[in-house]
Amino acid sequence: TTLTQPVISVAMREQILGLDRKKQVGIFGGTFNPVHNGHLIMAEQVGTQLGLEKVFFMPDNKPPHRDPKRAIEAKDRVEMLKRAIAGNPLFALELIEIRRGGVSYSYETMLALKKLHPDTDYYFIIGADMVNYLPKWSRIDELVKLVTFVGVKRPGYTPSSQYPVLWVDAPGIDISSTDIRHRVQTGQSLRYLVPDPVIDYIQQEGLYFD
Ligand code: ATP
């Protein structure tokens, strides 16, 4: 018998050598009205536990499922996010939905991002409340093929998903933007719930007082 050289395609060789390794990036969509420490804690845990290169906070322009009256200006939400993520090299901003305008549908956004960055695998971070809401997302069957959903538990929500979700263990943090807005209106302290530079901005701009 003659020994034959195994046939290895370029693609197989690259895969074996790890040369085709795509960038692993987190994408954290939300309204961030305002960003709070619950968001920051979950993004840090997901990013470090999964070994992601970056976690992009991606504020929506107009979420499909929210009461528009309660959303504040995108520029204020972006400014608060900038202040909140400053100093963490893992964190960055992705403003594609705000630049595109209109209602933000995650499927369209992720399709656009995949076209811009074909070398990137996206890990789409969501809380347990959103995990339960996935069946209502526009074009969800196509979206699950584009991204890996990463779920984080949230007090008050029992997750049940019809779609594949990679769960990351992070402490359950009972903070919501709704509660933060309510605390501003009732004059309660935001300290340790929201980063100090974000509290300064809320006070300086008089956000959420009425
Ligand atoms: P609101 O109270 O206005 O509904 P929110 O606190 O849920 O706001 P969003 O900006 O809507 O904040 O959330 C963006 C994403 O972060 C969603 O996927 C949501 O599930 C998740 N999330 C927000 N806060 C938490 C939390 N405390 N624990 C786990 N997930 C959270």
pLDDT in tens, 64-93: 665 555 557 899 999 999 999 999 999 999
- Find the 143 Cα to ligand 1 centroid distance in Å: 20
The secondary structure of residue 177, as a DSSP letter, is H
Query: What interhelical angle do 74-85 and 37-49 show, nearest 10?
Result: 60
- Using one digit for the tens of pLDDT, what is the confidence trace for 118-158? 999 999 999 999 999 999 999 999 999 999 999 999 999 99
Using CB distances shorter than 6 Å, the residues near ligand 1 are: 30-33, 38-39, 42, 126-127, 129-130, 152, 154, 173, 175-178
For residue 172, the ligand 1 atom closest to its alpha carbon is 28
Are the CB atoms for 134 and 141 separated by under 8 Å? Answer: no
Judge whether residue 21 has pLDDT over 70. Answer: yes
Alpha carbon separation from 173 to 50, 156, 165 (Å, rounded): 20, 10, 19
Instruction: Identify the residue whose tokens are 């769960």.
Output: 167
| Residue bearing the CA closest to ligand 1, atom 21 | 127
| Residue bearing the CA closest to ligand 1, atom 8 | 177
**How many helices (H) and strands (E) are present in the chain, helices listed first?**
9, 6
- Find the 129 Cα to ligand 1 centroid distance in Å: 8
d(CA 175, CA 159): 17
pLDDT value at residue 16 = 75
| Residue bearing the CA closest to ligand 1, atom 14 | 30
CB atoms within 10 A of CB 77: 23
Pocket test for ligand 1, best of 27, 28, 31, 66 (most atoms within 8 A of CB): 31
Interface ipTM > 0.90:
yes
- Find the 201 Cα to ligand 1 centroid distance in Å: 20
